[in-house]
Amino acid sequence: MKRLILLVLVLLALLAAALLAPRLLDDPGYVMMDFGPWRIEMSLLALVGMVLVAWILLSLSFGLLRLPGRLWRSARERRARRQLEDGLLALTEGDWQRAEKALSRSMTYRSSTAGYLAAARAAQGQADRPARDRWLRLADRRFGRRHFVTNLARARLLTGEGRMDEAIPVLEDLHLRKPRHTGVLRLLLQSYQELDRWRDVRLLAPAVRKAGMIDAERSDALVVHAAIREIESAVDVAALDEAMHALTRKQRKSRDIALAYARRADELGQSALGGPALKRLLEKTLDDEALKLYAQADDDSRAARIDDCERWARQQPDHGGVQYALGMLYLDDRQYEKARQALEAALSHRADEQAYAALGRILDRSGELEAATQCYRNALRLRHGRTAESLPPPMTDGTA
């Protein structure tokens, strides 16, 4: 930039000289200067020439005086660049000790953001936290406590050590400053998942989509996955209801979320809570997994669920999942003959470990020990990935 300005000034001077030269040749001017007993008389052109020569001589003198310092600083910068390059190469190779040593030497010549952060990474590779924090403090002192890159490096180092709880506040502050920064979002998403903070993952998903990291379909899948994990981690009914009600109406209608809610409610001993969600799902389509969960009813809701399954069975009599749900509900309601018929109908469509185990209980109770034993054996065979074997013919004199 300085050279450009000097070139412009020289060009302007030459232009001015070209314009003034004809007039000065006709009338070169006259200059007289008195210095005590001395008097100097000369033309204006001579004075200008003397000033230019003096300025050139002074510039050359100062240049020669500053030349050793410039040469020394140039050599020093070359050494700093070479040490920085050696340190970065050692860092890439994983030679932490050599990297930190080279980078430290480089910083004595010329400090830089990249050098401080690379040295901090090398110190962490040696599990030297005090040295790592010292390098980060130096970076902060040079660039200010709110320097974005330095804080991002600090968060990255913390997550690398598995200290997600310390990294998250730093990352959340960075996210507020740059909501679409992919590096921040990636680390924040990873930290939330590591700490099972699934509600935060679900709330972060729209920002991840807006940043272009995932498309709308994958964003919806991430929201559903996070909601399911949040529901599965509910420690009590209050937490379960809070997790469910935090979702949008569209999300609550999701098959996977409805199943997860009903499953967790049953695990907490409150199977009735999942009934309405399962019923809404089953009214649309008779899903086998939803029917299995619907069959897990308490005494108060069992009769209503039996009525629902009987209605669905009349609509689709050949649906094995409905027959299975009816069989399990009948069994819990001590309607053993109906339970046997429903379970046999379900097994005629598809072999199922739980259906065989339940049918074995009914046959065992009715005294058909050989058939009951075969049912239990089939349940074990299916558990180990083997096919079921045929049951012996029913006893003609058996009792229900």
**In whole angstroms, what is the distance from residue 59 CA to residue 53 CA?**
10
pLDDT of 87 reads 75
Domain 304-400 sits in CATH at 1.25.40.10
Domain ranges of the chain: 27-59, 75-142, 304-400
- Which residues, including other chains, have CB under 8 Å from residue 101's CB and lie 6 or more apart? 87
**In whole angstroms, what is the distance from residue 98 CA to residue 104 CA?**
10
pLDDT of 66 reads 74
pLDDT of 203 reads 92
Report the predicted TM-score, pTM, of the whole model to 2 decimal places.
0.66
The maximal CA–CA distance of the chain, rounded, in angstroms, is: 153
pLDDT of 161 reads 79
pLDDT of 400 reads 39
pLDDT of 224 reads 92
**In whole angstroms, what is the distance from residue 184 CA to residue 198 CA?**
17
Amino acid at 133: D
pLDDT in tens, the chain (400 residues): 666 776 777 677 667 666 666 665 666 666 677 777 777 776 666 666 677 777 777 777 777 777 676 666 666 667 767 776 777 777 777 787 887 777 777 776 666 767 777 777 788 777 777 877 777 777 766 655 457 877 888 888 888 878 899 899 989 999 998 999 999 999 999 999 999 999 999 999 999 999 999 899 999 999 999 999 999 999 999 999 999 999 988 888 889 999 999 999 999 988 888 899 999 999 999 999 999 999 988 888 899 999 999 999 999 988 999 999 999 999 999 999 999 999 999 999 889 999 999 999 999 988 899 999 999 999 999 999 999 888 888 665 544 3
- The 10 Å Cβ neighbour count of residue 230 is 25
Place of tokens 């027959």: 323
pLDDT of 399 reads 42
pLDDT of 319 reads 92
